[in-house]
Chains A and B, each alone.
Chain A
Amino acid sequence: MFEIFGIPSQALFGQLLLGLINGSFYALLSLGLAVIFGMLNIINFAHGAQYMMGAFAAYLLLQYLGLNYWGALVIAPLVIGAIGIVIERLFLQHLRKLDPLYGLLLTFGLALVIEGLFRNAYGSSGQPYQVPPALQGGRNLGFMFLPNYRAWVIALSVVVCFATWFAIERTRLGSYLRAATENPVLVRAFGINVPRMVALTYGFGVALAALAGVMAAPIYNVSPQMGSDLIIVVFAVVVIGGMGSIMGAVLTGFALGIVEGLTKVFYPEASNTVIFVLMAIVLLIRPAGLFGRRA
């Protein structure tokens, strides 16, 4: 064991890893929020509840259908994403021409309702979810111990974030999305079914949240309030990164996870507030966010 800046390397790298793990979830969740905001102009306050639903879907699929982690990783985002599409068709599509505040209030209400229902059904203590057998254990890297499951979470998050960025910025389908974000009326007048694309986009953003929820299930307990604990930080991440920038959301998510982890090492008292302090500074200096486009 050696020391860096007077800190034992184990502690430093351990917190760095924890920061990367948190950053993986920040990135996935703020990515979903950015995709949804870009296309629907709605600040999706139900995002934390949808993340929680993903974790619960994994838990319930195992309890009642015996479907393991790998199955849940595919099925849970599909199911929760489909529920997202229903929410968009039933509620959100009617708010399109109104101030974004209405969407925020509606999704905030939805989040409260969903969390209440889950708390009523499953209590608030939380259910354990096992790490899948293939990813149990870990390896000693010499300077630190790396649990396999945590390495998997970071890797999967990076891959999913990159794939999403690629799909939006570099493909034909993505050009439809970007164009419809800019001028939905004209894109529709070219013959593209924009309302269907909007519903699918919301479903995709929600599925990203649910995927993060499944990934989180073996790390944190599966509990009804797991989303609301996380989502406040994620909103701060989105404010810092700037709404509507895909790459910005991803980079800011990982970076702030690391900043938070390092703060735990060097000045633990500030670790819970450092992101909000950064948010306040960014709002003062660059109100549109680090990667945001000026409105």
Chain B
Amino acid sequence: MPEPHPLLAVNELEAWYGESHVLHGVTFDVQPGEVVTLLGRNGVGKTTTLKAIMGIMESRTGSVRFEDAELIGRTSDAIARAGIAFCPEERGIFSTLDVKENLLLPPQVRPGGLGLDRIFELFPNLQERLSSQGTKLSGGEQQMLAIGRILRTGARLLLLDEPTEGLAPVIIQQIGRTIGALKAQGFTILLVEQNFHFAATLADRHYVMEHGRIVDHFSAGELKANTEKLHDYLGV
């Protein structure tokens, strides 16, 4: 299945939190237009992998190639300007900024980002609350704001860290529809999820992580045949 030109190619990525070695050679790729998930239990290194790609983890080695350019050694602001956007697990809504300021905060790094009108079509709730303090929104609205604000930037690869965590089922469905709509518009998405059922409905391919490594890999079509194995991996 290796295709000639991945948008993102991660090779033997290792990373450290201080003295503690947390990624031990992570290798995977994401093709243009795909939705790919990283699955695994808590603490296996999924979030760390996103942070290492993004350059937020500075202590890292190996290779991260995006559109054939090497990102290892670049600072996180340079990586963002290369065209990757990150939505953190804790959402990172700024309490000293109102909703509009939060939405307009990430600078445009490339042409072709969504306009505000398109973002409000995806998340109508945001439009009604533009002058509210960012952290006064509900958890679901904060998650919409966190996703909405990175759609403006023109980044083609979105790294989403647990976008459904702690949200009500109806909000999770809305986020799911949004991710589907983004994929249809040509966004490429790397998704970290604990909610396997959510991931299963959306993703083209799944990588499974354990102990700071990729240990398995399924396409969407292979999921059914491997349910038991997955349950073992994820401890569901």
Min Cβ gap B51→A in Å is 9
Contact B105 A175 (CB under 8 A): yes
Contact B77 A175 (CB under 8 A): no
Interface size on A, residues (CB 8 A): 18
Contact B104 A192 (CB under 8 A): no
Contact B88 A191 (CB under 8 A): no
Q: In the complex where A188-B77, A190-B107, A191-B106 touch, is A179 in contact with B96 (Cβ < 8 A)?
A: yes
State the CA gap A31–B54 with chains docked (Å): 35
| Contact partner, A182, options B88, B95, B104, B150, Cβ 8 Å | B95
Prevailing SS type, chain A contact patch: helix
B-contacting residues, A177-218, CB 8 Å: 178-179, 181-183, 185-194
B94 — which chain A residues lie within 8 A by C-beta?
Answer: 178-179, 182-183
Min Cβ gap B53→A in Å is 11
A193 — which chain B residues lie within 8 A by C-beta?
Answer: 77
Check A172 for interface membership: any CB of B closer than 8 A.
yes
Contact A179 B55 (CB under 8 A): no
Q: In the complex where A175-B104, A178-B97, A182-B96 touch, is A188 in contact with B75 (Cβ < 8 A)?
A: yes
Contact A190 B104 (CB under 8 A): no
A191 — which chain B residues lie within 8 A by C-beta?
Answer: 77, 80-81, 106-107, 109, 153
Check A176 for interface membership: any CB of B closer than 8 A.
yes
Min Cβ gap A94→B in Å is 15
Taking CB as reference atom, which chain B residue is nearest A194? Answer: B77
Contact B105 A176 (CB under 8 A): yes
Chain B, residues 78-90, CB within 8 Å of chain A (1/0): the string is 0111000110100
Interface size on B, residues (CB 8 A): 25
A194 — which chain B residues lie within 8 A by C-beta?
Answer: 77
A sample of 20 inter-chain contacts (CB < 8 A) reads A175-B97, A179-B94, A179-B97, A183-B94, A185-B76, A186-B86, A186-B92, A188-B76, A189-B56, A189-B77, A189-B80, A190-B85, A190-B105, A190-B106, A190-B150, A190-B153, A191-B109, A191-B153, A192-B107, A194-B77
Contact A175 B107 (CB under 8 A): no
| Contact partner, B54, options A175, A179, A189, Cβ 8 Å | A189
State the CA gap A176–B85 with chains docked (Å): 17
B56 — which chain A residues lie within 8 A by C-beta?
Answer: 185, 189
A181 — which chain B residues lie within 8 A by C-beta?
Answer: 96
State the CA gap A179–B101 with chains docked (Å): 9
State the CA gap A259–B105 with chains docked (Å): 41
B55 — which chain A residues lie within 8 A by C-beta?
Answer: 189
Min Cβ gap A141→B in Å is 41
Taking CB as reference atom, which chain A residue is nearest B51? Answer: A189
A186 — which chain B residues lie within 8 A by C-beta?
Answer: 86, 88, 92
| Contact partner, B92, options A172, A175, A183, A192, Cβ 8 Å | A183
Q: In the complex where A185-B56, A189-B80 touch, is A179 in contact with B86 (Cβ < 8 A)?
A: no
Taking CB as reference atom, which chain B residue is nearest A176? Answer: B105
Q: Identify the interface centre among B55, B80, B85, B104: most chain A CB within 10 Å of its CB.
A: B80
Min Cβ gap A175→B in Å is 4
Contact A179 B105 (CB under 8 A): yes
Min Cβ gap B134→A in Å is 10
State the CA gap A262–B55 with chains docked (Å): 56
B79 — which chain A residues lie within 8 A by C-beta?
Answer: 189
State the CA gap A183–B91 with chains docked (Å): 11
Min Cβ gap A197→B in Å is 10
Contact B105 A187 (CB under 8 A): yes
B76 — which chain A residues lie within 8 A by C-beta?
Answer: 185, 188-189
A172 — which chain B residues lie within 8 A by C-beta?
Answer: 104
State the CA gap A172–B86 with chains docked (Å): 21
Min Cβ gap B148→A in Å is 13
B109 — which chain A residues lie within 8 A by C-beta?
Answer: 191
Contact A190 B97 (CB under 8 A): no
Closest 6 CB pairs of A and B: A191-B80, A190-B106, A178-B96, A175-B101, A186-B92, A189-B76
Taking CB as reference atom, which chain B residue is nearest A168? Answer: B96
Min Cβ gap B72→A in Å is 16
Q: A190-B106, A191-B77 are in contact. List 9 more A-B contacts (CB 8 A).
A: A178-B94, A179-B105, A185-B56, A189-B55, A189-B79, A190-B85, A191-B106, A191-B107, A193-B77
